């Protein structure tokens, strides 16, 4: 979920009311620390595919994305060809956007380049984690679309060959992967802690 999406506050949830898939994502995944090369590549890719769309649209297509991008295994994603891009552009189960598909492949290649340099996406991604908040956000209006860390992350990943990953997308990925905790103080997730 990006800071631009309007929350549904029937349960005090930050977002996700009204759809069981969306609510489950909010309650069990959003803000939970994510580690691992395939896991982070998936989140980077899906945040890129979400750009300009609802996160719920991406969630509904996530299983298909996982299938067509081989579980986001970086080596398999990096090996996709121009013919694969054309095939994926015909697959109605995913978001059919050439730039986003090609960016996902380029991002898989960037992960492999990191590995060749003796580094991991996990260590690079998590190196941008800000200090933990001292208190939960009081209102949705306090949530930002970017941060100094997301700006720095987007710049660093671009330099490493990642595509379709600007500061706003980076911040959404930071929220989704638990680098920042943007659950509201009234959220059932926060209240259950």
Of 102, 68, 106, 100, nearest to 85 (Cα)?
A: 102
For the entire predicted model, the pTM comes to 0.93
Cα(109)–Cα(162) distance, integer angstroms: 8
DSSP state of 149: H
Check: CB of residue 89 under 8 Å from CB of residue 69: no
pLDDT for the residue numbered 140: 86
pLDDT for the residue numbered 10: 61
Check: CB of residue 13 under 8 Å from CB of residue 67: no
Query: What pLDDT, in 10s, does the model give residues 113-168?
Result: 999 999 999 999 999 999 999 999 999 899 999 999 999 999 999 999 999 999 99
Q: What backbone torsions phi and psi does residue 84 show, to the nearest 5 degrees? A: -65, -40
pLDDT for the residue numbered 192: 87
Cα(40)–Cα(34) distance, integer angstroms: 7
Chain length of the chain: 193
pLDDT for the residue numbered 6: 43
- Residues with pLDDT less than 70, the chain: 1-10
Residues with catalytic annotation? 25, 47, 55
């Amino acid at each position: 979920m990006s800071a631009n999406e309007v929350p549904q506050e029937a349960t005090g949830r930050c977002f996700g009311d009204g759809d069981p898939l969306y609510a489950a994502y909010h309650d069990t995944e959003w803000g939970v620390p994510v580690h691992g090369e395939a896991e982070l590549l998936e989140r980077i890719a899906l945040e890129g595919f979400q750009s300009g769309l609802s996160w719920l649209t991406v969630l509904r297509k996530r299983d298909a994305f996982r299938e067509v991008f081989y579980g986001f295994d970086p080596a398999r994603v990096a090996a996709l060809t121009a013919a694969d891009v054309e095939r994926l552009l015909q697959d109605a189960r995913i978001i059919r956007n050439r730039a986003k598909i090609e960016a996902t492949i380029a991002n898989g290649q960037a992960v492999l380049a990191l590995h060749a340099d003796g580094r991991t996406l996990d260590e690079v991604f998590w190196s941008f984690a800000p200090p933990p908040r001292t208190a939960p956000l009081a209102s949705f209006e306090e949530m930002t679309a970017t941060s100094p860390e997301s700006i720095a992350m987007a710049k660093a990943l671009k330099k490493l060959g990642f595509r379709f990953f600007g500061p706003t997308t980076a911040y959404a990925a930071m929220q989704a992967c638990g680098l920042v905790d943007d659950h509201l103080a009234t959220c059932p997730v926060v209240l259950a802690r």
